[in-house]
Amino acid sequence: MNILERYHAMEYGPAPEARNEADAWLAARDFGKALFIGGDWKAASGGKTFDTSDPSSRKLLAKVSDAGAADIDAAVSAATKALPKWSASTGYQRAKVLYAIGRAMQRHQRLFAVLESIDNGKPIRESRDIDVPLAIRHFIHHAGWAQALDRDFPGHKGVGVVGQIIPWNFPLLMLAWKIAPALAAGCTVVLKPAEFTPLTAILFAEICGRAGVPKGVVNIVQGGPEAGGAIVNHPGIQKIAFTGSSEVGKIIRKATAGSGKKLSLELGGKSAFVVFEDADLDSAVEGLVDGIWFNQGQVCCAGSRLLVQEGIADAFIAKVKTRMSRLRVGSPLDKNTDIGPLVDLTQLDRVKGLIAEGAKQGAICWQPDSALPSSGYYHLPTLATGVSPANILAQEEVFGPVLATMTFRNTEEAIELANNTRYGLAASVWSENINLALHVAPQLKAGVVWVNGTNMFDASCGFGGYRESGFGREGGREGMFEYLSAKLPLGPIIKPATSSAQPVEQAEGGAIDRTAKLFIGGKQVRPDGNYSFAIATAKGKLAGEVGLGNRKDIRDAVAAARACKAWPEATAYNRSQVLYYLAENLSGRADEFAVRLTQLAGATAKAARDEVELSIERLFLYAGLADKFEGRIHQPPARAVTLALHEPVGVVGIVASDNAPLLGLISLAAPALAMGNTVVAVPSEKYPLLATDLYQVIEYSDVPAGAINIVTGRSAELAGVLAKHDDVDGLWVFADAETCAKAEAESIGNLKRVWTGNGHSLDWASNEAAGDALLRRAIEVKNVWVPYGD
């Protein structure tokens, strides 16, 4: 066969990557002492080990120390001991260490790549050309953040000892995503790799020793669920960072509820790959191959749902099948391999089971006519057509080389189908019309959107999801915030409300009796249960009665908030004008509200007037910031720009405390509204008449119906309803410690973003309790990647 014939046949001989160095490294180490604690190598205290195997051959690679609770305790102790000196070091000193780590990894990057491929099964081209270089990039990039902390994050410091748990699909890269920003922030680390893929983390621990990382700053403990649970529940850890399945993420959210631990979760996904009829189809096919068959589809942001416009569907699917038939399945160390083995037999069985169930539900599953290697956990790339939106292959994360296909007729249907998932991690949009692509991207409920591309990542750009794909971001400026804290000024401890059935003495005078209603959908409405409760003045006299809201009232308020499209779709300038007008109208009734504060809370005339004036000032502040707290543009080292857009969280529930009842409510509601969220507020249980007096101010201030809804009642009860409501996207609770903990624990249904005072109110009069600190909680950061050039 001559050269031209070989070119047309596209036949490749084997091109294996040498593994001699990796085998020598494996042979030279005692993996029974693989726990890196306090700068030393140790065996598990219980003497247990677990096996790690090569998924392409099923051969044993090593027996690795299996950490238990005692080992985690030792690692946390080492991290705690190292924390004061590390956090007190200068940014320059930490930057030098991070840079040294990156440079040492560069010197050993081929060893890292080979170990990653034999331990995980991913093709060597991916580990060599993507995973390892990007891991190195994270350490060198974050060396810069270490020196820039005081300038870019004034008033912030490292959160403390951090517990980090990473998955098996990107072992080294996830380690870099977690450890680099933590060290830059001045935190110390206890990291647990996945038990399927511990090898590159062990090599990284060796690198830490060579790079001059102080003892105890980085601790790496291999182990399984026992070790992970010990990290999550350890009282000496101030933050948990977890990447993994949504199911485990929910368990961690519940376990950390009420602990005060900072938490970031990067979880599963079911990402849409949207192809419009004007797309470059050949480019889109190549993007699709990268989107779903990269790392055998074992990618949280895999483009596993193909949505293709009807007019081009047949032609596009034909191109996809042709391309699939040319994908090479084989040894991960062969540089010609496109698809390697899945990580383990359990994962292979799971993928097969989901495909079988999808076929039962009507999907037509097609695979290329290719042979699989005789050993290893291999699975052919699979294309499922005829998939309904409710099919298991369209809804569940398969985490394998399986693509579910659906068609759409127009842009609106494409967006609806793309958002028809409980996840919200990533999406890809393919169109030669950049106006169309940038019209669609902000409407997709996903934390990352790639335009005419997929699986683009960089240390300078944030990554993370919405909904059940978790919360928090990794990478970029927003990723640094996850490892920093700025202490907000605490107010008094909030005691649980005591519901009293004692009658309130009727006040003297002949005022017409009036019971304040609820405020839902722009109207004053009676509570569903037709119950009310009495509100006393500071002197114990009857000030009035308010409606006793219940579960149905919260449901109605959430429905009204969700139905309000005018507010989140309004421009930031329009929202600014409305908030200014709200402040203006409150100012016109300032004397009335001051009297009410004195009457109810017993405040002095001056203190009451000061609280009203500060409430007006807060409205002015957030009105002014509505069109100024903006996103950023990142410039990664690629022919692309990344638009870090600020988007509203969605429907935000707010439970306000009795402390500064007017100022506290406005200080919470105003930033949420300024960023385009709609609000369901539960005002002070003791002084709700200050909130009901706001109804008329809201009504004649041009606030769209449903933008803000107020339900009076028992704070603890209504906080629980908001926490369990899966159409609430965010929840801010300032109540007693038990109510706050329950709100966090009961929020796991949709993993809503929850912020609590952990049993404290805030000092709402302080400047620190206003501005950016609250605005950051009112937004999601969406990173839209826009490539340019030919």
Catalytic residues: 266, 300
Both tokens assigned to 267 = 């979880």
> Distance of alpha carbon 338 from its chain centroid, rounded?
30
Number of H helices, E strands in the chain: 29, 34
- CB neighbours of residue 498 within 10 Å: 5
Both tokens assigned to 69 = 């609770």
Residue 16 DSSP one-character state: B
Report the distance separating Cα 109 and Cα 101, nearest Å.
12
Helical ranges in 405-535 per DSSP H:
411-418, 434-440, 476-481
Report the distance separating Cα 62 and Cα 74, nearest Å.
24
Report the distance separating Cα 470 and Cα 243, nearest Å.
9
Q: First CA to last CA across the chain, in angstroms?
A: 35
Taking every pair of C-alpha atoms in the chain, what is the biggest distance, in angstroms? 108
Query: How many CA within 13 A on the CB side of residue 512?
Result: 2
For 520, the 3-state DSSP assignment is strand
Helical ranges in 361-488 per DSSP H:
392-395, 411-418, 434-440, 476-481
Phi then psi for residue 253, to 5 deg, are -60, -45
H or E element, residue 446: none
Whether 281 and 312 have beta carbons less than 8 Å apart is answered as yes
In angstroms, the Cα distances linking 206 to 105, 172, 236 are 10, 13, 25
Q: What's the Rg (C-alpha) of the chain? A: 28
> In which residue are the tokens 């922030």 written?
185
> In which residue are the tokens 């690198």 written?
207
Whether 663 and 734 have beta carbons less than 8 Å apart is answered as no
Report the distance separating Cα 606 and Cα 613, nearest Å.
10
Whether 332 and 122 have beta carbons less than 8 Å apart is answered as yes
Report the distance separating Cα 502 and Cα 492, nearest Å.
26
Which value, to the nearest 10 degrees, does the dihedral of the CA atoms of residues 176, 181, 182, 187 take?
Answer: 140
For 490, the 3-state DSSP assignment is strand
Report the distance separating Cα 611 and Cα 590, nearest Å.
10
> In which residue are the tokens 């098996």 written?
168
Amino acid, res. 627:
D
Nearest to 207 by CA among 136, 149, 256, 284: 136
Whether 639 and 787 have beta carbons less than 8 Å apart is answered as yes
H or E element, residue 341: none
Query: How many CA within 13 A on the CB side of residue 182?
Result: 27
Residue 260 falls in which region: left (phi positive, over 0), alpha (psi -120 to 50) or beta? left
Query: How many CA within 13 A on the CB side of residue 268?
Result: 21
How do strand 426-430 and strand 272-275 relate by DSSP bridges?
Answer: parallel
Report the distance separating Cα 116 and Cα 122, nearest Å.
7
